[in-house]
Structure 1
Amino acid sequence: MRKGQAGNIPVIARFTVVEALRTRYGIILLLLTLLSFGLAQFLSQVAITETAQIQRAVVAAVLRFSAVFLVALYIITSISREFSDKVVELMFSLPMPRGSYYLGKLAGYAMLATATAVVFSLLLLTVTPWAQAAMWGVSLVFELLLVCAASLVLVLALNQVTPAFCAVVAFYLLARSITAMQLMAHGPLVDGHSMASQLIARLIDGMAFLLPDMSLFTRSDWLLYSTAQWQDLLPLLGQTAVYLALLSGVALFDLYRRNI
């Protein structure tokens, strides 16, 4: 990519962020933050024992799923609207490589994801020690980066909001639960001599090989027992880099092969 063409990437990223602010992304983020804060205060009043632990676990889970679904839904609806309004066709008619469009969009959505993680981590400081909240927040950034890339790949491939969002949700939930599914498939209660059990176990192992292990991201035990260390983030950074590159490669291949 030439130097002048690469200069389009920050411009597209900036306009992506501006578009998010104009479509009231920040207001929705603020409302989710206030609702989560209210939930934390409610739990502090109704919990009889282990109040702090219940607060941390429930609020962290709500914040994580809220961030994932908010980022994914915004990306999918934004790109789908650009296809409907012929904005994508207009961009591709300019003397600019399609890779610049994708990387600019990814950079803009990555900034939104980072801002979302920062806001939610600040809220988590009200119920969690700062070090654990900071590590949880960094892990959430990595998780949201993968969600951004997956959302872009699927909306570019499907071009419709509902199928793309359902596919992203399925990808995320499967990636979060694939380790538990592996444990159950190879557990002591499974008949290892059954052909069906062996087939299911191999199928699950194959999916686990292809999917990122998101059960390692934003773990609740970090907040409950303060077990997280900064070096625990290194494997997550490696997973994020690998799958971000893979998903970006798939998206770019799809963009360049299509006749738009």
Structure 2
Amino acid sequence: MTAGFAPAALRIGRVVAADTLREALRGRLPWLLLVLLLAGAGLSGFIGALALTDTRATQAALLAALLRCAGAGIVAVFTVASVVREAHDKQAEMLLALPAGRAVWLLGRLAGFALLAVLVALPAAVLVGWHAAPAQAALWSLGLLCELWIVAAFAVFCALGLGHAAPALCATLGFYLLARVAGILRALAHDAESSSRLVAPAADAVAFLLPRLDTFARAEWLLYDTGRGADAAAMLGQTAIYLALLTAASLVDLQRREF
């Protein structure tokens, strides 16, 4: 019985991941990605017409900033909507009938959303790679993908815990924005003129608990070719840690529920 459990669990996980990705592809995701690609190309031409010097580097940096935010928003919306829709359709009750258990369902869903993040990151990687050095564009694309994976995992955690799309989406976007500016808040809190006994420790705690998304997919890599292998290692390390923590938290919340 134990020998056949792992293949069955793997098969169920693949089915759940495929269904998750198929659900997104049957929706408006392909059209949204096409619009994102065309809008990015048009914006790239507009920026190139305005820039006087370093046209390609300027195009890459501005496109990177816009596509990064757009990608995070798309992943957050589709992930939250998918999980909440499944809960409202009472499909979550089918978890009890799965022979592999709820953990396999959760991992399958996370794998499906990870594939969704790859599809979202692909147009951004193509557009940025067209205007930047290949090595720096590849490093930036890796950072974007890691960022989207963290956003997807946090969106699953919020959607499972809150059960409604609006608060889950607000929490996910709030987490993303706070993680993006945590480093800036920490620097301001430690400013000699404005720091206090409460503000500085609070800013340190926030920066410690949240992933440093401000160090992911940095525009300066595209402008000045400053990205190095150490940056990739740091991004991958943070991504592994936070994906493990968010997966464990989602699994604990899922296991305690009674359907």
- TM-score of the superposition, structure 2-length normalised? 0.94
State the alpha-carbon separation in 1 of the partners of residues 31 and 230 from structure 2. Answer: 35
Give the partner amino acid of 1:121. Answer: A
For 2:69 and 2:256, how far apart are their aligned partners in 1?
34
For 2:218, the equivalent position in structure 1 comes to: 219
Give how far 1:96 is off: 3.4
Q: Deviation at 1:82?
A: 0.7
| Structure 1 residue 7: Cα displacement | 2.5
- Flag structure 2 segments of 5+ consecutive residues without an equivalent: none
Give, in angstroms, the shift of residue 144 of structure 1: 0.8
Stretches of structure 1 lacking an aligned partner (at least 5 in a row): 192-196
Normalised by the length of structure 1, the TM-score is 0.94
Structure 1 Cα separation of the partners of residues 113 and 35 of structure 2: 20
Alpha-carbon distance in structure 2 between the residues aligned to 1:163 and 1:81:
14
- Residue of structure 2 in register with 1:155 after alignment: 159
The answer on 1:103 being equivalent to 2:102 is no
Q: Does 1:19 align with 2:19?
A: no
AA paired with 1:253? V
1:213 CA displacement: 0.8
Counterpart among 60, 74, 77 of residue 70 in structure 1: 74
Counterpart residue identity of residue 242, structure 1? I
Q: What residue in structure 2 maps to residue 247 of structure 1? A: 246
Match of 2:95?
91
The amino acid of 2:250's aligned partner reads A
Aligned-pair distance for 1:26? 1.4
* Identical positions, percent: 40
Return the alpha-carbon distance in structure 2 between the equivalents of residues 239 and 94 of structure 1: 32
Amino acid at match of 1:190: S
Distance 2:136 2:65 in 1: 15
Counterpart residue number, 2:63: 59
CA distance in 2 between partners of 1:146 and 1:137 (Å)? 14
- Counterpart check, 1:259 vs 2:255: no
- Provide the secondary structure at the position in 1 that maps to 2:25: helix
Could you give the per-residue CA deviations for residues 131-153 of structure 1, whole angstroms, max 9, x where no partner exists? 11111111111111101110000
Task: Tell me how far apart the structure 1 counterparts of residues 133 and 54 of structure 2 sit (CA, whole Å).
Answer: 16
Alpha-carbon distance, 1:189 to partner: 2.2
Greater Cα shift, 88-97 or 20-29: 88-97
* Residue deviations 1:46-80 (CA, integer Å, cap 9, x gap): 22344333312210011101110000100001111
Matching of residues 179-258 of structure 1 within 5 Å: 179-191=183-195, 197-258=196-257
Question: Helix, strand or coil: the match of 2:252?
Answer: helix
Code of the residue aligned with 2:136 in structure 1: it is: Q
- Partner Cα distance (2:51, 2:140) in 1: 23
Deviates more, 1:236-245 or 1:23-32: 23-32
Query: Which is worse superposed, 26-35 or 2-11?
Result: 2-11
Deviation of 1:87 after TM superposition, in Å, equals 1.3
Give 1:36 deviation, angstroms.
1.0
d(CA) in 2 for partners of 1:15, 1:150: 20
Aligned counterpart in structure 2 of residue 177 of structure 1, from 173, 181, 186: 181
Q: Deviations over 1:69-127 (max 9, x none)?
A: 00010000111111111111123333330101100000011011112212210111221
2:131 aligned counterpart, secondary structure: coil
How far is 1:206 from its partner? 1.1
Deviates more, 1:101-110 or 1:55-64: 55-64
